[in-house]
Structure 1
Amino acid sequence: MRTLGSFEGWSSLIRASLVWLGEADPLLGRSSIENADPVRRKLRSLLLGWYFAFKTIPTTSKEAVTFANQIERDEGGNEVRLHSEFYEILSEHFSDRRGEVRPQLIGEFIKQNQRRIECGIRFEEGGERNGKKLWKVEVTDLTTLNHNMTIFLNLS
Structure 2
Amino acid sequence: MKETVWINKSVDEVWDFVELEFAKVFKCSPKKLHEKTLKIKHGGKEVIQSIPVQERPNHLVLLSEDQDNVVETHYKFIADDNDGSFLEIYEEGKGKNSTGKTIMYKVLDLPLLRTKKRKRLRQRIESIKYFIELEDDQNDDLQEA
* TM-score of the superposed pair, with normalisation by structure 2: 0.25
Bigger Rg, structure 1 or 2: 1
Higher relative contact order (CA 8 A, sep 6+): 2
Structure with the bigger percentage of strand: 2
